[in-house]
Chain A
Amino acid sequence: MADGERFNMEAAEAKVLVRDVNVFYGEKQALFDIDLDIGRNQVTSLIGPSGCGKSTFLRCMNRMNDVIDGCRVEGSIKVDGDEVLDAGIDPVQLRRRVGMVFQKPNPFPKSIYDNVAYGPRIHGLVSSQDDLDELVQTSLERAALWEEVKDRLHQPGTGLSGGQQQRLCIARAVAVRPDVILMDEPCSALDPIATARVEELIEELKKAYSIVIVTHSMQQAARVSQRTAFFHLGVLVEVGVTEQIFTAPRDERTQGYITGRFG
């Protein structure tokens, strides 16, 4: 992208550097030449009309596109200087550092405790049962769920309400102590109260993690994020400080989208 520099920040404060990323589903190209920096200990929100490639972009950063048949990613994505798209890098290692929360809550059919303990167990993060208990508790506390479930840790996670399930999935992602957390419309299935709690939680998590959140709610993007990127038809149209995007967008497509004229 010619004026890519404008979109980007000082390399020092960037956690993830995305350069010239193109994504294809079979023959069809879904993303075109994306250049974007994700700030350290910041919330970056991705907005744009449905089908513009936000989820696709999010999945590039933890190589979840590998799971999809016929999906091809080109370009360069560096997390803390390490190339993500390198064939040599182990996606399993990468995903430990780049966690993800999905649009629909997807707790495993296991107990609440086991849901949170799943990641730490497979990565051998803790050596004793006590440590694991503690890690589960802190993760649930971070996800603002501990008070609600501390008496029912061994009941199935699928028995929680939708909002609780989503916070459980956040706790699950936090428990492996990633550097970056990707959230794909984490509040789309939640009521306003649960949404408010998740937003508080994002505010809290920001201190320790770098967060990328996809959202369809302009208000949410404005509330939680420091930087906002607007995608349209697979192209990154504009990225900047959230306030500037919402008050003085440079591109008329951004203008049109945030004022609700299309999308």
Chain B
Amino acid sequence: MQIWALILILICLAAYGHVIGRRRAISFAAAKPALLHSLPFYHGAYLALWVVIPSLLAIALWLVAQGPIIESLIISGLNTDTQALSADRLSLVLNDIVNVASGDIPSREPTPEIAAAAQKFSELKKLSNLGMVVISLGLGIACLWWAKGKISAEFRARNQVERIFTIIMILASTIAILTTIGIVLSLLFEAWRFFLRIPLDDFLFGLQWSPQTAIRADQVGASGSFGAIPIFAGTLLITVIAMCVAVPLGLMSAIYMSEYASNRLRGVIKPLLEILAGVPTVVYGFFAALTVAPFFRGMGETVGLDVSSESALAAGVVMGIMIIPFVSSLSDDVMNAVPQTLRDGSFALGATKSETIRQVVLPAALPGVVGAVLLAVSRAIGETMIVVMAAGLAANLTANPFEAVTTVTVQIVTLLVGDQEFDSSKTLAAFALGLVLFFITLSLNVFALRIVRKYREKYD
């Protein structure tokens, strides 16, 4: 039986549980209505939850456990010399068995041994499936019956249901937290392997980035050096350029939208600006590489500046345009949230509109504006596509916006794209870069939170 059919049946069972839970509660209520502790709905919900949760847990457990168990059963059924194969080869054999069983093309002509094992595999699989259906439905019905017995007038169904929902919500948030922890741990682990090969201070303070390592000992010119300064400097340069574009433009359009534009105009401008955020970054990428970069190059030529055709300037400016809506939309929202009474108070003292904006609205909205800007910064730091296309790959250590530079994210991409061994310094370097990037964004966030806390004001 398919999983979804099973789940459908469970849902029907839960619905049935809900109905009989309500009925039972109502039948108690008919006798002594005032004594019913919880509304009938909660009694029904209580039964339904008892049907769904244990059986879903059982299904999940079963699905997790069945793979390894079937596998070990198959292996123990194989010839002893096959069993003696190395783990890698054994998994190949297993793969073949699964392929034969599911009718796919195996990597070679199946031997009788494999054919027999495949036969056994299908049988086990069917058995397991049946077991799962029986167990989960049985569990659902048993729980339904048991929980039904608990319903009485005094039974605190509402409290129970609410507690179950609390637990579900806690679990949901735990999943997000655990995922984060998992990501950090895997980053830490891989980065640690990298730092076993390359000393930490070489990485953090080295001025030379050329991650090509020699594959054969006799190769020349590929010594591999992992000084990350140039690429962090490149990231910084591009981010600064982007913010120089995005913050003034974004803030000014936010001020215009929230303080000057009529509601109708604002309703038009805001979505239009937000379209900027919806354009795929690849599109920005070729806009930067094919339109903006040549434009800057031409401009540079006319004034006698040497602008390279892949420049930090082009990438930064286009990136700045892309993140304008991050700054403008959020700032507009927070400025709109500043109570009108504060503006009135300022006007009533004879302040002009611009004085009011500068001295009352902006300070009151500052935490939100800072948050918006920092969000834009982290967006700029994490942006990859535009830089790949418009700023180049050369890890130059320079503060000159007319030269080609590269950024952390771009390097991570180039390190991991293509066929790579997963334990060379080159690929591991990507994790080290990722780790540093992670700490940078983390500290940015912490910093932003502190600013927000410091300036947070109550308006009432």
Contacts and interface: CB of A to CB of B under 8 A. Distances in A.
Interface string A229-263: 00000000000000000000000000000000000
B355 to A, nearest CB: 5
A169 B349 CA distance: 10
Nearest to B456: A109
A95 B347 contact: yes
B344 A158 contact: no
A175 to B, nearest CB: 8
Contacts of A156: 457
Given A108-B360, A118-B359, A122-B359, A158 B457 contact: yes
A96 interface: yes
B334 to A, nearest CB: 13
Contact of B350 (A107, A109, A123): A123
A106 B344 CA distance: 9
B119 interface: no
A123 B355 CA distance: 11
A40 interface: no
B172 interface: no
A156 B350 CA distance: 22
Contacts of A69: 262-263
A158 B347 contact: no
A122 B351 contact: yes
B382 interface: no
Nearest to A101: B348
Contact of B345 (A93, A108, A158): A108
Contacts of B345: 102, 106-108, 169, 172
Contacts of B360: 108
A176 B341 contact: no
A67 interface: yes
Contacts of B341: 102, 104, 106
Interface string B448-460: 0000000001111
Contacts of B460: 158
A64 B457 contact: no
A122 B350 contact: yes
Contacts of A62: 348
A107 B460 CA distance: 9
B459 A158 contact: yes
Given A102-B341, A104-B341, A122-B359, A173 B348 contact: yes
Interface in A92-119: 92-96, 99-100, 102, 104, 106-110, 118-119
A62 B349 CA distance: 10
Given A106-B342, A106-B344, A99 B349 contact: yes
A102 B348 contact: yes
Contact of A67 (B263, B342, B344): B344
B348 A122 contact: no
Interface in B336-365: 339, 341-352, 355, 359-360, 363-364
A27 B346 CA distance: 28
A64 B263 CA distance: 19
A167 to B, nearest CB: 14
Of listed A92, A108, A169, residue having the most chain B CB within 10 A: A108
A93 B347 CA distance: 11
B299 to A, nearest CB: 42
Contacts of A172: 345, 349
Contacts of A173: 348-349
Contacts of A93: 350
Contacts of B350: 92-96, 119, 122-123, 176
Interface of B: 262-263, 339, 341-352, 355, 359-360, 363-364, 457-460
Given A62-B348, A64-B347, A109-B342, 4 more contacts: A67-B347, A95-B347, A109-B457, A122-B349
* Closest A-B pairs by Cβ, 3 of them: A109-B457, A96-B350, A100-B348
11 contacts: A92-B350, A92-B351, A94-B350, A108-B345, A108-B359, A108-B364, A118-B346, A118-B349, A119-B349, A122-B349, A123-B350
